[in-house]
Structures are given as structure tokens and as C-alpha cells.
Amino acid sequence: MTLKRPGKRKAKPKRQGRQKAPAGAPATKRGNQSSRGEDSAATPSRRPQNTQSVSSSALWLYGRHAVAAALSNPDREVIRVFATRNGSAWLAAHVVGKALSTPIVEARPEEIDHLLHQGAVHQGIAAEVKAQPLRDLDDICANPTPETSLVVLDQVTDPQNIGAIFRAAAAFGASAIIVQDRRTPPLTGALAKAAAGAVETVPCIPVVNIARTLETLAEYGYDTVGLAGEAIVPMQAIDTNRPMALVLGAEGAGLRRLVSEKCTQLVRIPIAPGMESLNVATAAAIGLYERSRNRNKPT
């Protein structure tokens, strides 16, 4: 693994003495500056030397597992990685392959803060990356086996929830996640961190129309199973001898009417009467677990 250190900084010019304000001018105070706040003209922020060419529209992954998975993914182009000393050591111990030739820029935690959105928990590692190639519905979903499981997200937009759904999909062997192209945030940043590397292993298929996509999946032989709190049939009753697409709606709104009508079956996850609903990521994990549990029951 190549570890680059920022070049030596030039000596700062000596500050001139503070000039007295004219009589009667209002007094001013200097505010405290955070490493994540805006930088004043008088006090430039400290950044690694190599961040000068970073585009404001660059795609970022951060967090140990998200970056490690990207480095291990042959389909992901990683431009460069910024890491603290501890972060570099962790990558060296957990990643092999192309990571050995990927440029690693040594940076302090606060310098990495400046590259990311405010509040990003980067664990001392961030990577500038290119978007992954778009995946096609026909190529991935057209020839399912009885064991095939998909997840279909109907206008789910929260990055943390989508990331957690990717993680559950990877844990329970889902073949792909289908999303609406205009409603889904990029698979980077907080979403990718919540997925803990699963965005690199579970294909994401953007589609224009979810309802029409469910029709196509039914033609391919899938049971399109919608999770709905008002459904009568419990999740445990689904047929596990057919390929399944688990369909989930947005927090609060749930499945849209047309999407619900296009599902071949609506099921519910039984919960205590005092609780209205489950978080969508939790519901996805339970649904995928129930599917895999039923398939793995001894006959």
C-alpha cells in the first residue's frame, strides 16, 4: 500500500500588529472556529496538500468497511484514499489486491472532516470514487431460481434506511435491490457507511416505474410480496418454493396504491397492538430473514 505524506508546509508570514480601530468604530469579536465550520479569509483551513484538485462534485465513501469494500470491488474505480496513520494501518491489515497500488494520502482527522459533509463519522478513512456502472433488470433478474430473493423499494429515500436495507440484503442473500431512479440518493456517504460495504456486493437496479417493474418481475416468475400493516396474511405464510421480490414502501406513507395493487400478495409482520409500524429497514431485515429461515427448515 502506497502511503503519501503531504509536502512540507511553507513558513507562514509574520502577522502584522493589530491596527487600532478609528475612534467611535464598533468593537468586533473573533468567533471560535470549528474544523467543520466555514473558514475565514484571515485563517485558512488546514488541508492535505493533495486536496487542491478534489472536485466539489466528487463522490465520497467514508468509514472503514465502506472504503475497504470499495477497494476490494473490481467494478469500483477508487481515485484515491485519505487516511490517518491508524486508518492506513487498518486498511493494510484488512484489504488486499488493488488497495496495494491505490494512492493513500496521509491526513489528520480534521483534514478529512473538511472533505466531507458536516457530521460525517469517517473513522479516519475517506475515499474519492467513481460511480459504479448501472445494472440492468433483465441481466440480473430475468432467470430466477426458487431461491432467488429481491428487494424492491417504493420511494424509500432516507440514506440510513437504504444503507441498512443493503446490509440486510447482503446478510440474507438477496440478489439485488431495485429502486426508483429519481427518488433514491447516491450510494455513497452516509448510505454507504450504513451499508457497511454491502453497496459493493449487492447490485442496485434503478428503474423509472416501480409498478411496471413489478409486472415485469411477475412475468419472470417472481411472487411480488408487498409488506403492508393492513394485510391479513402473515409473513410466515409466504410460499418459499418460488422466487420472491419483497416490496417495501416509504416510512409513514407505505406502499403507494398502484404499487400495492401490482403486488401478487400483501403480507404483514405481526407486531404488538400498541406499536403502529416498524422502521422500513427493520421490516426488510425481518422479511428477508423469515424468507431464508423458512427455506432452510428441515423437511
The whole-angstrom separation of Cα 261 and Cα 277 is 20
The answer to whether 286 and 235 have CB atoms below 8 angstroms apart is: yes
Whether the pLDDT of residue 85 is over 80: the answer is yes
Give mean pLDDT, residues 143-168.
96
Pinpoint the residues of the chain covered by CATH 3.30.1330: 44-129
Q: How high is the pLDDT of residue 39?
A: 35
Architecture label for domain 137-295? 3-Layer(aba) Sandwich (3.40)
Nearest CA among 211, 210, 135 for reference residue 175 = 135
Give mean pLDDT, residues 224-244.
91
The CATH number fitting domain 44-129, selected from 2.20.25, 1.10.8, 3.30.1330, 3.40.50? 3.30.1330
Helices (H), strands (E): how many in the chain? 9, 12
**Cell representation of residue 50:** 493533495
Cα dihedral sign, 256-259-261-267: negative
Whether the pLDDT of residue 22 is over 50: the answer is no
Pinpoint the residues of the chain covered by CATH 3.40.1280.10: 137-295
0.95 surpassed by pTM: no
**Cell representation of residue 8:** 512540507
Give the pLDDT confidence of 112-134 residue by residue, as tens digits: 999 998 999 999 999 999 999 88
Cα dihedral sign, 256-257-263-267: positive
